[in-house]
């Protein structure tokens, strides 16, 4: 019986699960897993994960004390919840989990560094080494500078919300471990902007990731490319051979159900033969290229705002849940 698309993809590319749903990971057994605030918020509302949420809330209350506001407890709890889910995920996947820095810190280098160190310290406290963690940071200039410092400390970073070549080059020059270009969100922007649909190799998100991959391999960067945010399996099959691809459970299931030949599309040896111009990206060039790339400007702003809104929603849900728990707790004697 011929291999399905997912089995074939695994021969070229590291498959990562893009979900906070632990049950989905148990089903598809990816090498790595990545989460973001929206995914953690969705998982936190699933009944099967209520014990994890409640345990994190009660621990945060104990740490801050009875006088702390529910909002303060919820704020601490959301940071700990990502670690709690990460811990569960790492019991399933053999590789790494990506845990995100608060998107509201995306333009603050020092605060990003501090929270990244805190994330690593929390994993260390439960016996999980930094080699199994990728700290996710938005691909702003400030975020890239934070990642440069962290990588020198042995803290591996995943630069997320990446939409333009200028972001990718700056991240590689900073020595980051991994970048996550957002394929589907790029497609969304061009569909809205042009009123047209795009398929296969003509998909602007596919073109973007292909360009980043070839640039990295041409110039020997160690930074890996992980395509993210897919809208259909056609985008995934066009990027077969990419270092990593992070895929939702829905699309993993589609790939598993599909029978067809899957040729490798991205290849490091082929990239060596391409005529690609080296680009120097300092702060001035980054700002200039970012301003000229309307898609990257729009989608980075929208992505940071979206992840920030998801965090606010999660904090609100946690504060509400804390009130419910404490209302039903037996009174102290």
Instruction: Note whether residue 22 is domain-resident.
Output: yes
Residue 39: pLDDT over 90: no
Least confident of 33-47, 168-182, 319-333: 319-333
Range name among 150-164, 186-200, 281-295, 308-322 with the lowest pLDDT average: 308-322
Query: Alpha-carbon distance 322 to 96, whole Å?
Result: 30
What is the rounded distance in angstroms from the CA atom of residue 248 to the CA atom of residue 99?
Answer: 16
**Using CA atoms in the order 240, 243, 246, 249, what is the torsion angle rounded to 10 degrees?**
50
The pLDDT score that the predictor gives to residue 333 is 38
Give the mean pLDDT of 202-214.
Answer: 98
Whole-structure pTM value = 0.93
62, 125, 136, 192: which one is catalytic?
136
Residue 152 among the catalytic residues: no
Q: How confident is the model at residue 331 (pLDDT cuts 50, 70, 90)?
A: low
What mean pLDDT do residues 241-248 have?
97
Contacts 24+ apart (CB under 8 A), 146-152: 146/109, 146/110, 146/112, 146/113, 146/116, 147/171, 147/174, 147/176, 148/174, 148/175, 148/176, 149/109, 149/113, 150/113, 150/116, 150/117, 151/175, 151/176, 151/177
Please count the other Cβ atoms lying within 10 Å of the Cβ belonging to residue 165: 18
Domain membership of residue 299 (yes or no) is: yes
CATH code where residue 234 lies: 3.20.20.70
Q: What is the mean pLDDT of residues 79-103?
A: 93
Report how many domains make up the chain.
1
* CB distance 251 to 233 below 8 Å: yes
Question: What are φ and ψ of residue 215, in 5° steps?
Answer: -60, -50
Alpha-carbon span 272 to 244, nearest angstrom: 19
Q: Would residue 123 count as lying in a domain?
A: yes
Flag whether 167 is in a domain. yes
Residue 333 resides in a domain: no
What range does the domain containing 107 cover? Answer: 5-328
Selected residue with higher pLDDT from 75 and 148: 148
Tell me the pLDDT of the chain averaged across its residues: 94
* 268 vs 332, residue with greater confidence: 268
Residue 324 lies in a domain: yes
Q: Would the pLDDT of 74 be above 90?
A: no
Q: Is 50 exceeded by the pLDDT of residue 56?
A: yes
Instruction: Give pLDDT tens digits for 217-241.
Output: 999 999 999 999 999 999 999 999 9
Terminal-residue alpha carbon distance, the chain: 67
Confidence of residue 329 (pLDDT cuts 50, 70, 90): confident
The total number of residues written for the chain in this structure = 333
Q: Which pLDDT score, from 0 to 100, does residue 1 have?
A: 64
Position 38 scores a pLDDT of 82
Whether 176 maps to a domain, the answer reads yes
In the chain, pLDDT over 90 holds for what percent of residues?
82
Beta pairing, strands 224-227 & 32-34: unpaired
pLDDT-derived band at 36 (thresholds 50, 70, 90) equals confident
**Contacts for 242-245: CB closer than 8 Å, 24+ residues apart:** 242/12, 242/13, 242/209, 242/213, 242/266, 243/13, 243/14, 243/213, 244/13, 244/14, 244/15, 244/16, 244/32, 244/178, 245/9, 245/13, 245/14, 245/15, 245/16
DSSP class of 271:
H
Query: Is 301 part of a structural domain of the chain?
Result: yes
Lowest mean pLDDT among 179-188, 244-253, 322-331: 322-331
């Amino acid at each position: 019986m011929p291999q399905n698309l997912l089995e074939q993809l695994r021969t070229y590319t590291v498959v990562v699960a893009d979900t906070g749903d632990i049950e989905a990971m148990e089903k598809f057994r990816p090498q790595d897993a990545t989460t973001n605030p929206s995914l953690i918020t969705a998982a936190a509302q699933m009944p099967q994960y209520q014990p994890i949420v409640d345990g994190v809330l009660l621990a945060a209350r104990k740490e801050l004390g009875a006088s702390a506001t529910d909002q303060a407890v919820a704020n601490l709890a959301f940071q700990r919840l990502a670690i709690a889910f990460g811990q569960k995920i790492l019991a399933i996947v053999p590789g790494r989990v990506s845990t995100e820095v608060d998107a509201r810190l995306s333009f603050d280098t020092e605060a990003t560094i501090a929270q990244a160190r805190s994330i690593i310290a929390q994993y260390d406290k439960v016996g999980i080494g930094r080699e199994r963690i990728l700290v996710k940071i938005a691909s702003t200039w400030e975020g890239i500078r934070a990642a440069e410092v962290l990588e020198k400390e042995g803290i591996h970073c995943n630069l997320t919300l990446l939409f333009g070549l200028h972001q990718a080059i700056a991240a590689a020059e900073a020595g980051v471990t991994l970048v996550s270009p957002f394929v589907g969100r790029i497609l969304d922007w061009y569909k809205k902007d042009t009123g047209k649909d795009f398929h296969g190799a003509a998909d602007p998100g596919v073109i973007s990731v292909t360009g980043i991959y070839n640039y990295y391999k041409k110039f020997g960067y160690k930074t890996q490319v992980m395509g993210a945010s897919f809208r259909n399996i056609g985008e995934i099959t066009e990027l077969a051979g990419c270092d990593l691809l992070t895929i939702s459970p829905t699309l993993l299931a589609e790939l598993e159900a599909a029978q067809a030949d899957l040729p490798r599309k991205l290849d490091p040896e082929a990239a060596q033969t391409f005529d690609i111009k080296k680009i120097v990206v300092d702060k001035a060039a980054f700002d200039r290229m970012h301003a000229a790339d309307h898609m990257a400007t729009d989608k980075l702003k929208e992505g940071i705002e979206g992840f920030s809104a998801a965090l606010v929603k999660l904090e609100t849900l946690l504060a509400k849940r804390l009130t419910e728990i404490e209302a039903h707790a037996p009174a102290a004697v």
